[in-house]
Structure 1
Amino acid sequence: MPDWSYQTIFRPLLFQLPSRLARDFTLRAMGTLSRVPGGSFIIRTMGHMEASPILATKLAGIPLKYPVGLSGGLDPEGIAHQALAQFGFGFIEIGPVTIEAHINNKCPIQRDSTNEAIIYTDASSSEGLAKLMKRLDRNQGHVLPLMLRIKSTPGRTPVEARSELLTMMEALSYYAAGFYIESLDENEVVEATIAHLQAIQLAARELSIVKPMFLYVPVDYPPESLKLLMAELSPGWSGVVVGDMLRTGEGDLTGSVLKPLSIDIVRSIREHRLSASLSIIASGGIHQPLDALELMEAGADYIQLHSGLVFSGPGLPKRINEAIVYEKLQSVEPPPAPSFWMNWGWMCLLGIGMIIGGALAWIIAATSVVLPYDISFLGMLPSVLNEANPLVLQFMSHDRVTLAGTMISIGVIYYQLARYGLRSSLHWTRTALLTSAAVGFSSFFLYLGYGYFDPLHAAAALILFPMFMLSMRRHRELPSWERPNLINDRTWRLAQWGQLMMVTLGFSLAVGGIVISTVGITEVFVPQDLEYLCATPAMLNEINERLLPLIAHDRAGFGGALFSDAIAILTIALWGINQGQRWLWWTFLLGGLPGFVAGLSVHLTIGYTDFVHLLPAYFALILYVFGLIFLYPYLMQGQKDPRHDPTIPEIA
């Protein structure tokens, strides 16, 4: 459920359901997908979150791949943790955890879409220590560090509360990377709170396994009490976690409204903490990458997401990670572009070769149609074939022109990916080129299905394949120096529709390529083809027994090329779209035009205008046009930093 499907399809539908039902349905659907064979691979492929060494840190000695964590309130039962772990999270919070179970699944959850807020009436629910341990004993499906938020039973004395906390720490130390200690009471005297926390910290040192401890501070904890607390907090604590719930008369509220409160409390902690090594984790009001950056500028070292995933979508952690990488790169000099002959130049040459080859093939297909080796294979002159059935050469022209247009499309896309992506060492472009070209070269063997060896295609493959191999030589993959999107404005939301169109186009073309190849190597024709030809396969076989293999060779080859083209379009649409990437919009435009112009024009030229036959092409054209329209503002207009331009609204 990436953002392009969540924002356009799933969120509007889910928000029509009661909040609890929508949450449970979503979590169970993601959890089920992650547990089926290949499910986690599908989730990773849709999001394609690549770990960057720049993001790797250690939180109190705990290695983290990403500085973004998952709040415990989003998935309290861990139903979808295996799926969520693929989204770009570095750690997962579980909690609150109490000794005894306290669950009320019938309490309503209120959702305020206008203000992007959620109100829980059961935020303190806990499945209890025993049940949690049984759950953690099972395979979690991921290896992310678990931060367990523990709290004592309300109404306990300080001694009883410490006893419960220590009991849970002793029991859970095997599973926990660290503990969030939720033990603050705004109604308690600060001095008593400090003494209580010191006693917890000293007692925890005596446990058989000692894990880092983080003080959990409610976002509405009194500022003056917090200042006194931070000034006296024992150095034995590893950090402070700023909560993501605000107590109201209706229940516990989490949402975008908490960001100003979170920023204020983070600044206060940073200013009054005893040790600069005390880590700060903020979790309230983060609904877009800009929110995370502002909290980090205020002093947060790490962040956790809750309501932001509900309103912005599952791509939020990836977007935040990319924004953090960009911020860190501002103090680093970009490396020089690699040599043309290092790798990317070879792929540029391959793309140019495909464009030239496609243009020549188009000219031939639109004029003589067949080449000398085709005539030799048939043992029949075109004039004789034309006398037998004047529609056969036109039909072959239709196959070959569409193949030529697809070849040009592939060439344009490869050139663009190499020139702007591979040259800049963008990690996803190499994967896109590798998978697409591997499919394209492999499809050459489809030509052999009917025993017809095409010397021209063989020669082209022999020339282009070394270029492909040279372009795939390993090189250092670098993060992008291009500014990522920071705000959930109208342009970003419109781009989700554009991305949906292009992803759907890529999938549709891939299905079309598979179907065409399959038909080409089996039945050769679909009913509309035979209706156009006014003939049956048997009748065509009577004209020349080698005619069907020749046509099948064309059809299978075109299907393979279309599938290769689809893979390139799909990978760009899934992984490459980022604000201000003008070259990507031009890649979609220039890469798609040859295919559509070739396919539609040749059908009109030869009079093959059957609506059912052309319906997939019309559908693809609609996706293509609307995808370009919706993506235009996002890709073609560069983004200003809202922090430096107050005229830009944070959320439109």
Structure 2
Amino acid sequence: MLYQSFAKPVFFRMDPEKAHHLVIDGLHQAARVPGMTSVLGSMYGVPDMPELRTELFDLSFRHPVGLAAGLDKNAKSVEGFSSVGFSFMEVGTVTPKAQSGNELPRLFRLPSDEALINRMGFNNDGTAAMAAKLGALRQRKIPVFVNIGKNKATPNELAHEDYITCIRDLYAHADLFVVNISSPNTPDLRALQHGDELRVLLAAVTEEIRAQGRKAGAPAKPVLVKIAPDMTGEQLGLTAETIANSGINGIIATNTTLSREGLTHVNERETGGLSGRPLRERSTEVISELYRLTGGKLPIIGSGGIFTAEDAYAKIRAGASLVEIYTSMIYRGPGVVKEIAIGLRELLRKDGFTRITEAIGADHQ
């Protein structure tokens, strides 16, 4: 209620990117005030619900709901986001070198569609800056995934070098890495999802991850691949096969879409990736197909159009082990995390499940 009645009207009168920075900076400053993270936790924290706990990738998750990449691009507000109920969060996308991204304006709201369009272009401060921020954290309450990409100026044939650099620079600070090859806002990036380019990239990434694990004297950290929702059935099948054979630990489905089907807001004309409610059904379809293609053996994180517990539950029943939100935070506020988690518990009980893991892929049984 507080967000819907007071904060959202203020934010929605502002330029979307300025509002974005205000939130990130505000959470960053709040975390520096003694006791403020406890206040945030009392307002937005999710109560402990044993039936929602999940162990995955050798990491512990209090419930399935995490924050998708793109909101905290530079890991500036990890402590703040860790205090508003999320069970994990993705930071980034980060590239080896800092880059300013695409020209302004590049972020657009579509309120009538409960959607966003962005063409940010991997704007970020680079791996060195992120390493410094993550290294300076006083505590880490939840797993932090680092979403990595290539610089715009790096040609695809050398893209693997950028991803390797990201891993080397941030290995000590990430709990898990996400290889982003599906943003529509970096020229030719999505070509890395297919064929030999994907095989070469994933071979280089897994080799480097294993090398870093040996260097640290510990098991290699997990790596996921984030894919687009816009592939054909044939493309998705080939991509799933390549990922499954690569040693990669899982898939995030999906990134933003280029589709504009069913939109009503004038901003549908803007170029970039669409996120939010219009992506809900397509991302769930991709999750279901991936689960079928991989026989349920490759963990999937579901992302795209999750606004309610029912949305999240549909993705879990389709095959997702965890889910991520972003756009619903913009439209519903931080309280949406608690709403989804508590709602998931009720949906589990309604279907006779005692643990969230029993519902994963239930629609395929």
TM-score range, shorter chain: 0.7 to 0.9
- Is 1:258 aligned to 2:279, yes or no? yes
Q: 1:88–1:321: 8 Å Cα contact kept in structure 2?
A: no
Instruction: Quote the residue 1:18 is aligned against.
Output: 15
Question: In the alignment, residue 342 of structure 2 is paired with which amino acid?
Answer: E
Displacement of 1:162: 2.1
1:61 to 34, 52, 58: 58
Q: 1:289–1:316: 8 Å Cα contact kept in structure 2?
A: no
Displacement of 1:61: 1.0
Q: SS at 1:205's partner residue?
A: helix
Instruction: Quote the residue 2:89 is aligned against.
Output: 92
Q: 2:102–2:121: 8 Å Cα contact kept in structure 1?
A: no
User: C-alpha distance in 2, partners of 1:118/1:11?
Assistant: 15
Distance 1:164 1:18, change over 3 A: closer
Q: SS at 2:112's partner residue?
A: coil
Instruction: Quote the residue 1:234 is aligned against.
Output: 245
TM-score (norm 2): 0.82
Displacement of 1:92: 1.0
Distance 1:333 1:295, change over 3 A: closer
**Structure 1 stretch displaced more, 309-318 or 77-86:** 77-86
Q: 2:74–2:124: 8 Å Cα contact kept in structure 1?
A: no
Question: In the alignment, residue 146 of structure 1 is paired with which amino acid?
Answer: V
Q: SS at 1:264's partner residue?
A: helix
Post-superposition CA distance 1:370-418 (Å, at most 9, x none): xxxxxxxxxxxxxxxxxxxxxxxxxxxxxxxxxxxxxxxxxxxxxxxxx
Q: What are the within-5 Å matches in structure 2 for residues 364-513 of structure 1?
A: none
Instruction: Quote the residue 2:230 is aligned against.
Output: 220
User: C-alpha distance in 1, partners of 2:2/2:333?
Assistant: 9
Instruction: Quote the residue 1:204 is aligned against.
Output: 209
Distance 1:64 1:247, change over 3 A: same
Distance 1:79 1:128, change over 3 A: closer
User: C-alpha distance in 1, partners of 2:31/2:162?
Assistant: 35
Distance 1:143 1:48, change over 3 A: closer
- Is 1:70 aligned to 2:70, yes or no? no
- Structure 2: gaps spanning 5 or more residues: 183-188, 260-269, 355-365
Q: 1:213–1:237: 8 Å Cα contact kept in structure 2?
A: yes
Distance 1:151 1:312, change over 3 A: same
Post-superposition CA distance 1:456-512 (Å, at most 9, x none): xxxxxxxxxxxxxxxxxxxxxxxxxxxxxxxxxxxxxxxxxxxxxxxxxxxxxxxxx
User: C-alpha distance in 1, partners of 2:92/2:52?
Assistant: 25
Distance 1:168 1:262, change over 3 A: same
Instruction: Quote the residue 1:244 is aligned against.
Output: 255
Displacement of 1:198: 3.5
Distance 1:104 1:230, change over 3 A: closer
Question: In the alignment, residue 306 of structure 2 is paired with which amino acid?
Answer: I
User: C-alpha distance in 2, partners of 1:297/1:65?
Assistant: 19
**Structure 1 stretch displaced more, 278-287 or 153-162:** 153-162
User: C-alpha distance in 2, partners of 1:246/1:333?
Assistant: 33
Displacement of 1:311: 0.5
Question: In the alignment, residue 226 of structure 2 is paired with which amino acid?
Answer: Y
Q: SS at 2:71's partner residue?
A: coil
Question: In the alignment, residue 256 of structure 2 is paired with which amino acid?
Answer: M
1:183 to 181, 184, 190: 181
Higher relative contact order (CA 8 A, sep 6+): 2
Instruction: Quote the residue 1:291 is aligned against.
Output: 311
Question: In the alignment, residue 258 of structure 1 is paired with which amino acid?
Answer: L
Instruction: Quote the residue 1:146 is aligned against.
Output: 144
User: C-alpha distance in 1, partners of 2:74/2:246?
Assistant: 33
User: C-alpha distance in 2, partners of 1:225/1:214?
Assistant: 18
Displacement of 1:87: 2.1
State the percentage of identical aligned residues. Answer: 24
Q: 1:49–1:86: 8 Å Cα contact kept in structure 2?
A: no
Distance 1:189 1:284, change over 3 A: closer
Instruction: Quote the residue 1:136 is aligned against.
Output: 134
Displacement of 1:330: 3.8
Distance 1:83 1:235, change over 3 A: same
Distance 1:105 1:181, change over 3 A: closer
Instruction: Quote the residue 1:80 is aligned against.
Output: 77
Post-superposition CA distance 1:226-283 (Å, at most 9, x none): 112213432622110123322475222222111122011111111111x533110111
User: C-alpha distance in 2, partners of 1:291/1:165?
Assistant: 32
Displacement of 1:294: 1.4
Instruction: Quote the residue 2:343 is aligned against.
Output: 323
Post-superposition CA distance 1:528-586 (Å, at most 9, x none): xxxxxxxxxxxxxxxxxxxxxxxxxxxxxxxxxxxxxxxxxxxxxxxxxxxxxxxxxxx
- Structure 1: gaps spanning 5 or more residues: 335-652
* Count of aligned pairs: 330
Q: SS at 1:114's partner residue?
A: helix
- Is 1:40 aligned to 2:37, yes or no? yes
Q: SS at 2:245's partner residue?
A: coil
Question: In the alignment, residue 256 of structure 1 is paired with which amino acid?
Answer: R
2:119 to 118, 121, 144: 121
User: C-alpha distance in 2, partners of 1:16/1:199?
Assistant: 45
Distance 1:33 1:131, change over 3 A: closer
Post-superposition CA distance 1:50-98 (Å, at most 9, x none): 1222222122111112211111212223343322212221111011111
Q: 2:300–2:321: 8 Å Cα contact kept in structure 1?
A: yes
User: C-alpha distance in 2, partners of 1:186/1:77?
Assistant: 22
Displacement of 1:149: 1.0
Root mean square deviation of aligned Cα: 2.5
Displacement of 1:30: 3.2
User: C-alpha distance in 1, partners of 2:192/2:293?
Assistant: 20
Q: 2:74–2:92: 8 Å Cα contact kept in structure 1?
A: no
Displacement of 1:156: 4.1
Instruction: Quote the residue 1:547 is aligned against.
Output: none
Displacement of 1:161: 2.2
User: C-alpha distance in 1, partners of 2:26/2:190?
Assistant: 39
Question: In the alignment, residue 8 of structure 1 is paired with which amino acid?
Answer: S
Instruction: Quote the residue 2:361 is aligned against.
Output: none
Displacement of 1:295: 1.4
Instruction: Quote the residue 1:356 is aligned against.
Output: none
